[in-house]
Amino acid sequence: MNSFELTLLFLLAVLTDFKFADSLLQNLHPVIGIGYLINIMENFFYPVSKNQKKEFVSGFILTVTVVLSSYLVVKTLLFVSSRSGMLFFYPIFFYLVYSAIACGGLAREAQNVLTALQTNGVVEARVALARIVGRETDQLGEEEICRAVIETVAENFSDGVVAPLFYFWLGGLPLAWAYKAVNTLDSMLGYKDQRYLYFGRSAAYLDDIANFIPARLSALLLIAAAAIKSLDWRFGWQILKRDRRAHASPNCGYPEAAMAGILGLRLGGDNYYHGQLVKKPYIGEPLNQVTGQDILKAISLLHLSTALCVVAVLLLQVSK
């Protein structure tokens, strides 16, 4: 296939995500299919009797099977469609790129929370926020709601944008969708509760490994975007170096620390999850009060950082 035409399709897919988020053919989104596969396999593989070793081995087999299946399905789909002509291959290539990137959806959900907060108040904003975070939202005030949105934008910029683009550059769409399978597995099984502590451990570990490089790249991209937008990238760099490990995840602290420093905010802190108080360290410094304007700044940084990442991927593709 013509590399120039594929580059144009890639850019068109990114722009379509910016404009329409995940609203195009959303019922056919590949992540839904991966989720169905995980549910089916969990029902089949989860041990009847509680046994740590059995749970871990079963979860490992499930994780490997789902990731390999995602890789092979996409690779086969691209191979077969490429042999059928560009009328089949190009739409499939376009949709797989478009649906792999979550910049538009992330920006839309963040804006929805802000709009609900400004239009209908805290109660409606809590409902909108609950759709994109795992913490309990029914007791959060305005500042806490805004803080949660900004944390979500920073964290999901890494695994929803940078990581898929990184693996696309590394191994094309099959590897990008293998990563999406890893990320979906972690979101569904990577909990430390009684059911998933051992069964979901392989998914959680693999997600940590897969996001190791993208998380660090995402922080650098946010710093670069802040410099372009004349925001405080120097303080962002300072907080990144200081607080990047102030998070239970080995990866999430990187983009959150960069975002906190750039905006002069303090993120993190304790939150309730499923009725349990989870104590977390703070990230950043409370130089400014968190407001809705900071959500807009975070969305703007998300868009520019995504654009920088896309440009970097295209330049690296050319240099291969």
Q: Which of helix, strand or coil describes residue 147?
A: helix
Name which of 20, 14, 110 is nearest 305 in CA terms: 14
What tens digit of pLDDT does each residue of 88-135 get?
999 999 999 999 999 999 999 999 999 999 999 999 999 999 999 988
Six token digits for residue 249: 């995840």
What tens digit of pLDDT does each residue of 268-292 get?
988 888 778 888 899 999 999 999 9
Report pLDDT for 320: 66
Whether 57 has a pLDDT exceeding 80, the answer reads yes
| Residues in contact with 156: Cβ distance below 8 Å, sequence separation at least 6, in sequence order | 102, 106
Q: What is the mean pLDDT of the chain?
A: 94
Report pLDDT for 1: 63
Q: Which of helix, strand or coil describes residue 199?
A: coil
Instruction: Give the chain's domain count.
Output: 1
Task: State mean pLDDT over 45-73.
Answer: 95
Q: Which amino acid is at 77?
A: L
| Residue 83 Cα distances to 8, 89, 162, angstroms | 20, 8, 30
What tens digit of pLDDT does each residue of 154-211 get?
999 999 999 999 999 999 999 999 999 999 999 999 988 889 999 999 999 999 999 9
Strand-pair partners of 271: 278
Question: d(Cα 147, Cα 83) in Å, to the nearest integer?
Answer: 49
Six token digits for residue 52: 């740590």
What's the domain range around 194?
3-319
Report pLDDT for 112: 97
Beta strands in 196-268 (DSSP E): 266-268
What is the band of 26 on the pLDDT scale with cuts at 50, 70, 90?
confident
The three-state DSSP-derived secondary structure of 29-73 is CHHHHHHHHHHHHHHHHCCCCCCHHHHHHHHHHHHHHHHHHHHHH
Task: State mean pLDDT over 16-39.
Answer: 93
